[in-house]
Amino acid sequence: MANAVLKIPVLSSIITSTAVKCSKSSFSSSLLHIYGRHICNCSSAASVSERQPQIRSPQLVALEYADLTIPHIVCEELGALRVRQHVNPLSASLSIPVEVPNWEDVFEDPKLPLVVDIGSGSGRFLMWLAKKNPGSKNYMGLEIRKKLVTRAEKWVKELALSNIHFLFANASISFKQLISTYPGPLMLVSILCPDPHFKKRHHKRRVLQKPLVDAIVDGLMPGGQVFIQSDVLEVAIDMRRYLDAESDKLVHVDNIDSSFLCDDAGWLKSNPMGIRTEREIHAEFEGAKIYRRMYQKLS
Ligand SMILES: C[S@@+](CC[C@H](N)C(=O)[O-])C[C@H]1O[C@@H](n2cnc3c(N)ncnc32)[C@H](O)[C@@H]1O
C-alpha cells in the first residue's frame, strides 16, 4: 500500500517510545520484516516466525497510524483501555435515537461532503483520513461502545481536527435522522469489519439490515459510494447480498471504473481507501483475506 511507504521515516519515533517494552533492535528489525511482508511483498527464504520473533499486530497498528502522532497511542494499544468485546445493539438502552448535534458546533464547515464510518471502533482509521483531507471533507464515526467514542473525541481534540466528529450512537437507530439533518451531501458510507454475530439467532444483531440499506441509499448523493469489507466471508456475503439487491440504484465500481480490479468472485483486490482499519490490520497479520466491495449510487 502506497500510504504505508510514508511510515518508514517515523519508525524510529515509535521504536524509541517508552511505551514499547521490547528491545529497540529486535523491535526495529521485526517491524521492518513485517513491513516487507505486508507492504513490499519482499521474498525471503526465512519463515515468518523466524523473521518476526517479537512483533505483534498492535505494534503494526501503531505503525499504520504513525502519521497521527498521538504520543500515547502505543500505550493505549498495549492495553490501557478495556472495553467489552461485543455489545448487543438490540438492547433497550441502545434503541434510543441519539440527539442530532448542532452541525455548526461539530464541524468548522458543515456544508462539506460527509463521510460516515459505521462502527468506527477506535476511530483512528477515520482520523487518519480527516487529517489527510482538511477543508474538503467532513468525517463522522458512529460507534456503539461509549468508551471508544470518549477516547476518540479526546484524540480529535489533541490533534485539533475540525472536520471530524464521533457520536456514541446505534447506527441502526440513528443513521437516517442524522443524515437527513446534515447540511451537506453524503459522499461515502463505510461499514468495515462489522461485528460478525456468528450464531444464526444473533444475525439480526448485525449492523447492515434492510432499513439501514434503504437509509444509506436514500441519503447518498448521486455518485456517492458505499464501501463494505469483512474478514469473515459469511458476513461479507451477507452485506453484499443486501447491496447487490439495490442494482437499480447502486452499481459496483468495477463496472464503471477500470482502476478498480476484482477477483473472480467479484471481491475488490485491494483496499481503495489508502489506509487499513485496525481489524483489517489484525486480520491480515493473521493471514486472513479481506472481502471488499465498493458501490456507487447512480445519478
Ligand atoms: C469489529 S469492530 C470493527 C471496527 C473498525 N471498523 C475496524 O475495522 O477496525 C466493529 C465495531 O462496530 C461497532 N458496532 C456494532 N454494532 C454497531 C451499531 N449498530 N452502531 C454503531 N456501531 C456498531 C462495535 O462496537 C465495534 O466497535
pLDDT in tens, 154-200: 999 999 999 999 999 999 999 999 999 999 999 999 999 999 999 99
- So which residues are the catalytic ones? 195
Distance 267 CA to ligand 1 centre (A): 21
Name the nearest CA neighbour of 192 among 153, 154, 224, 235.
235
The span from the CA of 190 to the CA of 185, in Å, is 15
CA of 157 to the centre of ligand 1 (A): 22
Which of the pair, 57 or 2, is modelled with greater confidence?
A: 57
* Residue 253 CA to ligand 1 centre (angstroms): 24
**Residue from 141, 196, 147 nearest 171 by CA:** 141
Is the Cβ–Cβ distance between 120 and 143 less than 8 Å? yes
Largest CA distance in the chain: 57
Phi, psi dihedral angles at 297 (to 5 degrees): -80, 135
Q: Which atom of ligand 1 is nearest to the CA of 117?
A: 6
Topology at the third CATH level for domain 92-297: Rossmann fold (3.40.50)
H or E segment and range at residue 115: strand 114-118
Residue nearest to atom 11 of ligand 1 (CA): 119
Please report the atom of ligand 1 found closest to the CA of residue 280: 8
Q: Ligand 1: list residues with CB < 6 Å.
A: 87, 89, 118-119, 121, 142-145, 170-172, 192-195, 207, 277-280
Measured in degrees and rounded to the nearest 5, phi and psi for residue 206 equal -60, 145
Cα–Cα dist 254/48, whole Å:
34
Average pLDDT over residues 88-113: 96
Q: Are the beta carbons of 227 and 294 closer than 8 angstroms?
A: yes
DSSP state letter for 100: P
Which residues of the chain does CATH 3.40.50.150 include?
A: 92-297
pLDDT tens digit string along 8-23? Answer: 333 333 333 323 333 3
